[in-house]
Amino acid sequence: MAGKFQRILYGGDYNPNQWPEEVWKEDMRMFRKAGINSATINVFSWAKLQPSEETYYFDELDKIVDMLSAEEDDIVMATSTGALPAWMVKRYPEVARTDYEGRHHKFGQRHNACPNSQVYRKFMVSLTAKLAERYAHNPHITCWHINNEYGGECYCENCEKAFRVWLKEKYKTIEAVNKAWNTEFWGHTFYDFDEIVLPNVLGDGIGTEDTAFAGLSIDYKRFNSDSLLENYCMERDAIKAVNPDALVTTNLMGTYKGLDYFKWAKEMDIVSWDNYPALDTPWSFTAMTHDLMRGLKKEPFMLMEQTPSQQNWQKYNSLKRPGQMRAQSYQTLAHGADTIQFFQLRRSVGGCEKFHGAVIAHAGTENTRVFREVSQLGEELARLGRHILGTENRAEVAMIFDWDNYWGLEYTSGPSEDLKYVDQIHQYYRYFYEHNIPVDMVSAEDTFAGYKVVAAPVLYMVKEGMKEALTAFVKQGGILILTYMSGIVDQSDNVYLGGYPGPLRELAGVWVEEIDALFPDQKNQMIFADGREAECGLVCDIMHLEGAEALAVYGSDFYKDSPVVTRNTYGAGSTYYIGSDPSEEGIEMILDKVREEAGISGASGEKARLEIVSRWNGEQEYGFLMNFTDQVLPVPERFAGKEDLLTEKAVESGETMKKYDVKIVKM
């Protein structure tokens, strides 16, 4: 099992086009010194490759490809379609986007093309086809990277028309649209597809985050995700037409809201993504995002971008501390990456990213802390590839992450504006992270086969088939974790009538009669059977047991003593239902029970110690031990005597690890 690559790709975004050729040679020298074996090129060169509608220019790119090929580098070839050439916008203004406020943009920035402009599509495919023709058989081109960080939205007339076509394909009749969006409300009935307008500020959008018709706005999100995906597929197909074996990806952005990445992943040969945690991003959050990216295809992924040190676009762009970049890179590998790539290899001289960290600083010297740390890692990765590449992560716990739910939950008007999808998912993920219990982030379409526990926080929208899949899972012995705001609506954001949590009511064995919303300074308590108590708030379900048992009851307010956490035996399994947003301690108390029932123990017994994650290749397991805490921590005894791939020595009994220390132990 060697994965998609022959070695761990180590490199990143490289823009020699921004530099005179004399610099290129120096780049090559320094890359060799740093152990860099790969470069992502041609990310934003459209204007150079195609100086006018009629002409193309590949000489410079040829030179770059030749140089890297000669160096035996792995080339990640981007297609340059992520930023429009100025001449194109001037000649065909429709290729630019119209924003949420209804303003048609002129030339500027990047990620600026209307995905439904036929002009853009024509030029985009032509360029990619030409690139494929020229380079797709170069054996040094290991991977194709289409466009860049797809995202954003367009509200122009072309998109409006395309949306109507998309709706017609989905719903067939206008009556079906009216039913799906419940347009009888506020007399929004449409009699013709042409009456439908995009839900921006000039339509049903309310501010930038809310909407009068969630059904409409969610469908727009789906449409926009599909439109950009169609762009991706057109480029991919242009490449595959020349070389069907080409490995094609585009760089995703973790929990980015705009695109349904599970749908995208089906069209991608390998997932790649860009990881930019801030100083105050919890390590558990980054871990979750890696698991999500791995979960998209349940396969190893590429880390397409991270910064060697600092970003430039955050409010306060902290340097990475000594050892931090290395430890972050190993966390990335531990969670399933087969590449470590940076943005960027050489810092730009101008433009808005000139203060973004790079392997080679403006100083241009190898005599920097950052370069030394990059080099150390390069040396290590060269030794690790044969062990790690293509190995898999195994988990007994699955968590559902679903973009439809993301959109649906955050579009709700009520009960509380503080309900944020990703935060909700993360607070449950964190429990598993802190107990070193591996988690697969899975799609709402998953079958959940093979998992002991499925956690589905705020599963607000239950789409077709999900009830059946979850029921089968529990019936066969699985443990399902549900929370407040679950089972409320169908795929069109219409409520399941008959009582919350709708299709999950039987599984949960509870009926939620009312949902209270608490002000941020209001709190309630969960009182557990054993007398322990934890704070809760945000929303409070007032519920009735319908077969479930109460594990905890409310501690105050008029629903004091009524159930807040319940457990329902169903078939061979059980469902936990958490009726209010718990404190970290509350989650701990609940999930400890789940863990006990499931018979799952993490890689270490205790919370908040070393992060320990395993990859295995079917025979051999590799345990990644990382210390992200400020304390010096002991290595658990079970690792003693086993080989650490990094030191190539056996772990000693009683060994300790400082902040950012890493071990990769052959188990």
Give the span between the Cα atoms of 342 and 374, in whole angstroms. 10
The number of residues that bind its own copies (CB under 8 A) is: 118
Residue in 69, 126, 243, 310 binding its own copies, rule: CB under 8 A = 310
Helices (H), 266-311: 283-297
State in angstroms the smallest separation of the CB of 497 from its own copies.
6
Q: For residue 532, give the 3-state DSSP assignment.
A: coil
Q: For residue 240, give the 3-state DSSP assignment.
A: helix
Give the span between the Cα atoms of 367 and 360, in whole angstroms. 10
Within positions 74 to 133, which residues make up the interface with its own copies, using CB under 8 A? Answer: 80, 83, 85-87, 89-90, 101-110
Asked if 197 interacts with its own copies (CB under 8 A), we say yes
Residue in 182, 583, 617, 629 binding its own copies, rule: CB under 8 A = 182
Look up 149 and say whether it is catalytic. yes
Asked if 212 interacts with its own copies (CB under 8 A), we say yes
Asked if 492 interacts with its own copies (CB under 8 A), we say yes
Of 223-231, 305-313, 383-391, 648-656: span binding its own copies (CB under 8 A): 305-313
Other C-beta atoms closer than 10 Å to the C-beta of 70 total 10
Q: Letter for the amino acid at 312? A: N
State in angstroms the smallest separation of the CB of 243 from its own copies.
25
DSSP strand pairing (524-528 vs 533-545): antiparallel
Asked if 385 interacts with its own copies (CB under 8 A), we say no
Asked if 465 interacts with its own copies (CB under 8 A), we say no
Task: Report CA 266 to chain centroid distance, whole Å.
Answer: 15
State in angstroms the smallest separation of the CB of 524 from its own copies.
12
Within positions 516 to 555, which residues make up the interface with its own copies, using CB under 8 A? Answer: 516-520, 542
Asked if 213 interacts with its own copies (CB under 8 A), we say yes
Within positions 1 to 30, which residues make up the interface with its own copies, using CB under 8 A? Answer: 15, 17-18
Residue 322 is encoded by which pair of tokens? Answer: 């000594």
Asked if 500 interacts with its own copies (CB under 8 A), we say yes
Of 137-145, 196-204, 230-238, 293-301: span binding its own copies (CB under 8 A): 196-204
Asked if 351 interacts with its own copies (CB under 8 A), we say yes
Asked if 368 interacts with its own copies (CB under 8 A), we say yes
Measured N-to-C along each axis, helices 403-411 and 421-434 cross at an angle, to the nearest 10 degrees, of 130
State in angstroms the smallest separation of the CB of 250 from its own copies.
17
Of 131-139, 175-183, 396-404, 626-634: span binding its own copies (CB under 8 A): 175-183
Within positions 36 to 55, which residues make up the interface with its own copies, using CB under 8 A? Answer: 44-48, 51-52
Q: Letter for the amino acid at 433? A: Y
Give the span between the Cα atoms of 490 and 485, in whole angstroms. 13
Cβ-Cβ contacts under 8 Å for 405 (sequence gap 6 or more): 421, 444, 458, 459, 460, 461
Asked if 226 interacts with its own copies (CB under 8 A), we say no
Asked if 280 interacts with its own copies (CB under 8 A), we say yes
Q: Letter for the amino acid at 512? A: V
Asked if 483 interacts with its own copies (CB under 8 A), we say no
Are 8 and 388 a contacting pair, CB within 8 Å? yes
Asked if 629 interacts with its own copies (CB under 8 A), we say no
What are the two backbone dihedrals, phi and then psi, of residue 574, each rounded to the nearest 5 degrees? -155, 160
Q: Letter for the amino acid at 418? A: D
DSSP strand pairing (479-483 vs 573-578): parallel
Look up 379 and say whether it is catalytic. no
Asked if 376 interacts with its own copies (CB under 8 A), we say no
Asked if 204 interacts with its own copies (CB under 8 A), we say yes
Asked if 506 interacts with its own copies (CB under 8 A), we say no
Asked if 315 interacts with its own copies (CB under 8 A), we say yes
Residue in 69, 375, 416, 617 binding its own copies, rule: CB under 8 A = 416
Are 649 and 641 a contacting pair, CB within 8 Å? no
For residues 283 and 496, which CB has a smaller minimum distance to its own copies in the complex? 496
Q: For residue 27, give the 3-state DSSP assignment.
A: helix
Catalytic residue among 153, 160, 299, 305: 305
DSSP 474-530: HHTT-EEEEESS-S-B-TTS-B-TTSBTGGGHHHHTEEEEEEEE--TT--EEEEETT
State in angstroms the smallest separation of the CB of 270 from its own copies.
25
Residue in 6, 173, 413, 447 binding its own copies, rule: CB under 8 A = 413
Q: Letter for the amino acid at 114? A: C
Active-site positions?
A: 149, 305
